[in-house]
């Protein structure tokens, strides 16, 4: 492991394959995470609060919608750069990465891809700076893995749409100024729309009692005869593929992000294993502990190579949803295993908030559930291999 704080685990020198700009992005984001996230994050997790003051800082750093064209306030960067940002943020905490994933992939992406020119000019620049926050409402109380069953509806009244229904488990819900909401119309077609905070009949209560993603806001979106102006419908998309395309962008970012959490756990464990002595030796001298570290480094390295190639496919416009599913499934699972195994290397100390493993482990239980559960990604991969969908 490098002694340089800004350089971290990269056994196969993957960073040598980055452009100068991508290296600079990793260093800048990494430095910010070390300075602004790591020192405060355990405290915010303990009090179960999202550190909202970080939003403006992250906006200034270009952390939101990096792949959005400059014309709309984005940085016009490639998808590998987006992945690098997600990795560095999740090295800090999955909750910070979640906030940024939602803002970038689930709010800015659909406005940019499916929105009107007026919608893009109105919302994207403010989302890019963090002046406004967005959320994404797809999951409902009775429809999680099967979003196509959604019962939230819009009804055309002539002048506007009336929106009724509820969404659940929504990241950023109560702090969001706008929500991208997916609902069915009279023809049972899924439509996307921008619902503004403060609309009559719209509330966003926060969900409490989470042991996971404690430094992230999660809540409901409730719509009781909410008037949605017709100009707020995303005009250029219809059907379930709309939200699923957004998920592909977010799942790609999560595949990179999970590596950040794994690296943070691995690096803390290597350091501890060389400092802590039992039976007259550093515990890192024992073969059982070395195996845990060797397994972790091997899985991190494989995951890094997987996302780098995935990023190239994204940037070449060749990526498939099934390729993204495979990386999300693999990288979150290995990160969760690494969090569990490295925690054991620390013995009792591993359960405290002096070290990051327990927090990452608890966070990763959400990450392995949202954006398609581990099981759903297994089935997506099975569908890809056999051509037979086995979801229903």
If one asks whether residue 376 binds ligand TGC (CB under 6 A), the answer comes out as yes
Tell me how crowded residue 62 is: count the other CB atoms within 10 A of its CB: 19
Segment near ligand FAD (CB under 6 A); pick from 111-119, 169-177, 188-196, 327-335: 169-177
Q: How far apart are CA 294 and CA 317, in angstroms?
A: 35
Give the nearer residue to ligand TGC in terms of CB position, either 96 or 361: 96
Residue 77 token pair: 């960067």
If one asks whether residue 311 binds ligand FAD (CB under 6 A), the answer comes out as no
The three-class DSSP label of residue 229 is strand
244, 285, 313, 362: which one contacts ligand TGC (CB under 6 A)? 244
Question: Beta 190-196 vs 218-229: how paired, if at all?
Answer: unpaired
Segment near ligand TGC (CB under 6 A); pick from 15-23, 202-210, 245-253, 333-341: 245-253
Q: How far apart are CA 262 and CA 37, in angstroms?
A: 16
Residue 331 has phi, psi (to 5 degrees) of -70, -35
CB 289 to ligand TGC: min, Å: 33
If one asks whether residue 144 binds ligand FAD (CB under 6 A), the answer comes out as yes
Rounded to the nearest angstrom, the gap between the alpha carbon of residue 292 and the centroid of all alpha carbons in its chain is 27
Could you give the string, one character per residue 82-121, with x where binding to ligand FAD holds by CB under 6 A and - elsewhere?
A: --------------------x-------------------
Q: How far apart are CA 2 and CA 363, in angstroms?
A: 26
CB 366 to ligand TGC: min, Å: 7
Give the nearer residue to ligand TGC in terms of CB position, either 220 or 371: 371
Residue 250 token pair: 């977010």
Give the nearer residue to ligand FAD in terms of CB position, either 170 or 314: 170
Which does residue 369 bind out of ligand TGC, ligand FAD, none, counting CB within 5 to 8 angstroms by kind? ligand FAD
Residue 160 token pair: 């506007």
Q: How far apart are CA 90 and CA 256, in angstroms?
A: 9
CB 371 to ligand FAD: min, Å: 6
Q: How far apart are CA 87 and CA 117, in angstroms?
A: 31
Give the nearer residue to ligand FAD in terms of CB position, either 61 or 367: 367
CB 374 to ligand TGC: min, Å: 11
Residue 53 token pair: 């003051």
Residues 119 and 111: beta-carbon distance below 8 Å? yes
Which does residue 321 bind out of ligand TGC, ligand FAD, none, counting CB within 5 to 8 angstroms by kind? ligand TGC
Question: For the chain, percent helix, then strand, then coil, each to nearest 5?
Answer: 55, 15, 30
Annotated active-site residue in 200, 275, 371, 384: 371
42 is catalytic: no
Active-site residues, by number, are 371
* Binding residues vs ligand FAD (CB under 6 A): 102, 136-139, 144-145, 169-171, 213, 218, 366, 369-371, 373, 375-376, 379, 391
């Amino acid at each position: 492991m490098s002694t340089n704080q800004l350089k971290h685990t990269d056994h196969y020198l993957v960073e040598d394959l980055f452009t100068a700009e991508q290296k600079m992005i990793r260093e800048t984001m990494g430095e910010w995470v070390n300075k602004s996230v790591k020192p405060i994050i355990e405290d915010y997790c303990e009090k179960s609060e999202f550190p909202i003051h970080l939003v403006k800082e992250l906006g200034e750093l270009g952390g939101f919608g990096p792949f959005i064209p400059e014309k709309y306030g984005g940085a016009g960067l490639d998808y590998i750069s987006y992945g690098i940002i997600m990795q560095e943020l999740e090295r800090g905490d999955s909750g910070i990465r979640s906030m940024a994933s939602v803002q970038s992939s689930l709010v800015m992406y659909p406005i940019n891809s499916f929105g009107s020119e007026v919608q893009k000019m109105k919302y994207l620049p403010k989302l890019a700076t963090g002046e406004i926050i967005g959320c994404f409402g797809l999951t409902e109380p009775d429809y999680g893995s099967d979003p196509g069953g959604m019962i939230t509806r819009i009804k055309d009244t002539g002048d506007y749409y009336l929106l009724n229904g509820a969404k659940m488990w929504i990241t950023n819900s109560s702090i969001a100024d706008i929500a991208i909401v997916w609902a069915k119309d009279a023809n049972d077609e899924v439509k996307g729309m921008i619902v503004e905070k403060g609309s009559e009949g719209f509330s966003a209560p926060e969900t409490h009692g989470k042991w996971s993603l404690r430094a992230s806001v999660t809540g409901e979106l409730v719509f009781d005869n909410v008037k949605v102006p017709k100009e707020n419908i995303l005009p250029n998309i219809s059907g379930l593929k709309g939200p699923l395309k957004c998920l592909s962008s977010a799942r790609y970012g999560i595949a990179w992000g999970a590596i950040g959490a794994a690296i943070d756990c691995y690096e803390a464990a290597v350091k501890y294993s060389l400092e802590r002595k039992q039976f007259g030796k550093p515990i890192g001298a024992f073969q059982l502990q070395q195996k845990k570290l060797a397994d972790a480094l091997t899985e991190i390295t494989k995951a890094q190579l997987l996302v780098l190639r995935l990023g190239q496919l994204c940037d070449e416009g060749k990526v498939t949803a099934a390729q993204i599913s495979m990386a999300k499934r693999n990288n979150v699972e290995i990160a969760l295993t690494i969090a569990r195994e490295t925690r054991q290397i620390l013995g009792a100390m591993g359960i405290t908030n002096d070290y990051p493993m327990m927090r990452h482990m608890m966070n990763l239980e959400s990450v392995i559930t949202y954006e398609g559960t581990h099981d759903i990604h297994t089935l997506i991969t099975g569908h890809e291999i056999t051509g037979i969908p086995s979801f229903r």
